[in-house]
A and B are shown apart, each in its own frame.
Chain A
Amino acid sequence: MGRVRDMVILGLIISQALVLHLLEGFMPVLAPGMKLGLANIMTLVTLAIYGFKEAIIVVSIRSVLGSLLGGSVTAILYSLAGGILSCLVMGGLYYKYRPYFSIMGISTAGAIFHNIGQLLMASWMFGSVGILFSYLPLLTVTALGTGFFVGLASRYMIKYLQHRWFACERG
């Protein structure tokens, strides 16, 4: 597969992730930090059809642009911390322990670590561990639900892309 094609497809993936990220911003939230994590679908898809490095690139660009377009500048730090930590965990699980995990499990782990990353960043910025402890229970429960459905959505998308789109190149 050519470089230009990779670049175009990664660009498309990033723009889709951005749109999901921004759409999510319009949704009402029950508690601060509580989100669906739809943009995680694109991270998982990138992990599955490209690789770890590309997924990190997608997450970083999506976090920076998404925060600039839809939020405040400080949101970049939270978004990056959560995104990269969750991407590391999902990449590790996907490439090392794929036989033992379903996509839903990997996505749930990613959602949990996204929260941990964000909260660690917040605790570090405010110099208080209390934030970590007080938000984690609620956010973890949410992550179990959203992570499962994000994983389900990613599974359908990965299956479709692998069959229809990359069948000729990747076999």
Chain B
Amino acid sequence: MKISIKIGDIFVYAFAVVLIIISLTGMYLMGLNNDKRSVVIEVDKSDSYSIEIREGMEPVELRVDAGGGRYNTVVITYEEVRIEEANCPDQLCVKTGAIRSPGQAIVCLPHKVTVTITGVDERQSDIDDIAH
């Protein structure tokens, strides 16, 4: 039995090559902005601010006013987010330290302030493990 390549087969291979080129281009374009994290700060579940984290951004220091002279100072850099200072009684938010990945959060219960990182950081994705 001889192996014959027909005209349609060439289309299949051409299609495969086009597919590879398209996905490599797509991968390159996605690779340029695969870090889409942002910080969401909520006060008493109602007031919320959102700040995007970008590479090479200047460190941001925010004074979050929780009302009645209560405040938390949030420092946001490209690497990490932390509460630098607060005048809450338990100081748990300051002791939480720095958070880095999407899903992590710092909570200050006395002031009802939450600082959460949302979005995706595909540089350290664990999708392979789940899908496999």
List the A residue with the shortest CB-CB distance to B122: A130
Determine if A140 and B20 form an interchain contact, defined as CB atoms under 8 angstroms apart: yes
A105-B6 contact in complex given A112-B15, A129-B30, A131-B127, C-beta closer than 8 Å: yes
Q: 1/0 contact trace for B7-47 toward A, CB 8 Å?
A: 11100110110011001101100100010000000000000
Task: Name the contact of A129 in the complex, choosing from B1, B24, B26 (C-beta under 8 A).
Answer: B26
A105-B24 contact in complex given A128-B122, A129-B30, C-beta closer than 8 Å: no
Total interface residues in chain B, CB < 8 Å: 27
Q: Which residues of B have CB within 8 Å of A128? A: 120, 122, 127
Determine if B1 and A102 form an interchain contact, defined as CB atoms under 8 angstroms apart: no
Q: Which residues of A contact B (CB under 8 A)?
A: 32-33, 78, 93, 97, 99-102, 104-105, 108-109, 112, 116, 122, 126, 128-134, 136-137, 140-141, 143-144, 152, 155-156, 159
Closest 10 CB pairs of A and B: A105-B9, A100-B8, A136-B23, A101-B8, A133-B26, A32-B132, A133-B27, A133-B23, A137-B20, A105-B12
Given contacts A129-B30, A136-B19, 15 further A-B contacts (CB under 8 A): A32-B132, A33-B131, A33-B132, A78-B131, A93-B8, A101-B12, A104-B3, A105-B8, A108-B9, A108-B16, A126-B130, A130-B122, A133-B26, A134-B23, A140-B16
Q: Which residues of B contact A (CB under 8 A)?
A: 1, 3-9, 12-13, 15-16, 19-20, 23-24, 26-27, 30, 34, 120, 122, 127-128, 130-132
